[in-house]
């Protein structure tokens, strides 16, 4: 059985701007993706949680009528270290204190490294919802020879 990748957890702890996108795909139509603002691994529930705007959650759901599969791509804005999580929608809930703390840190870090882009992620936590992804696979996606390497796959 593959162990949950420590590198991914470490990545989420890095004090760097992390750009997040989440996507879903329906039948007979183009897929859909939107920006994420928070990310955390909920070890207890085994979920990767991505915070997105409630208005985008409505659109994401519309794209998930046939499939509940989701993909989330997380990329460091400094060095392009990237991971892609693939799995199934589990449940959504309001942002919790950890999510809010992550968002605040991201706004602060982006303001420091890329001040022009800080408005992009300066959302109100009350406008967001946290989407739970039961991770089935995690891939490394950092550009280079290891791009696409499978880091974790859930059995069953």
> How many residues of this chain interact with other proteins, rule: CB under 8 A?
44
Q: Does 23 bind other proteins (CB under 8 A)?
A: yes
Q: Does 82 bind other proteins (CB under 8 A)?
A: yes
Site for other proteins in 37-56 (CB under 8 A): 53-56
Q: Does 119 bind other proteins (CB under 8 A)?
A: yes
Identify which of residues 44 and 137 has a Cβ nearer to other proteins in the complex: 137
Note whether 39 and 20 are within 8 A (CB): yes
For residues 52-71, one letter each, b for 16 or more C-beta atoms within 10 angstroms of the residue's C-beta and e for the rest, the string is bbeebbeebeebeeeeeebb
Q: Does 62 bind other proteins (CB under 8 A)?
A: no
Q: How far is CA 44 from CA 10, 38, 66, 127, 134, in A?
A: 17, 18, 28, 25, 12
Note whether 132 and 141 are within 8 A (CB): no
Binding site for other proteins (CB under 8 A): 19, 21-27, 29-35, 53-56, 59, 66-67, 69-73, 75, 80, 82, 84, 86, 116-117, 119-120, 122-124, 127, 141, 143, 147-148
């Amino acid at each position: 059985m593959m162990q949950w990748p420590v590198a991914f957890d470490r990545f989420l702890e890095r004090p760097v701007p992390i750009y997040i996108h989440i996507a879903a795909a329906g039948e007979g139509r183009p897929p859909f993706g939107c920006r994420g603002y928070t990310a955390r691994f909920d070890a207890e529930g085994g979920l990767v949680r991505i915070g997105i705007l409630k208005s985008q959650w409505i659109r994401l759901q519309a794209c998930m009528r046939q499939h509940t599969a989701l993909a989330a791509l997380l990329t460091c804005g400094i060095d392009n270290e990237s991971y892609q999580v693939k799995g199934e929608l589990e449940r959504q809930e309001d942002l919790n204190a950890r999510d809010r703390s992550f968002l605040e840190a991201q706004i602060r870090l982006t303001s420091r490294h890329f001040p022009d882009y800080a408005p992009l992620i300066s959302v109100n936590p009350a406008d967001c919802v946290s989407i739970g992804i039961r991770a089935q696979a995690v891939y490394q996606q950092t550009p280079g020879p290891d791009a696409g390497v499978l880091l974790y796959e859930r059995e069953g």
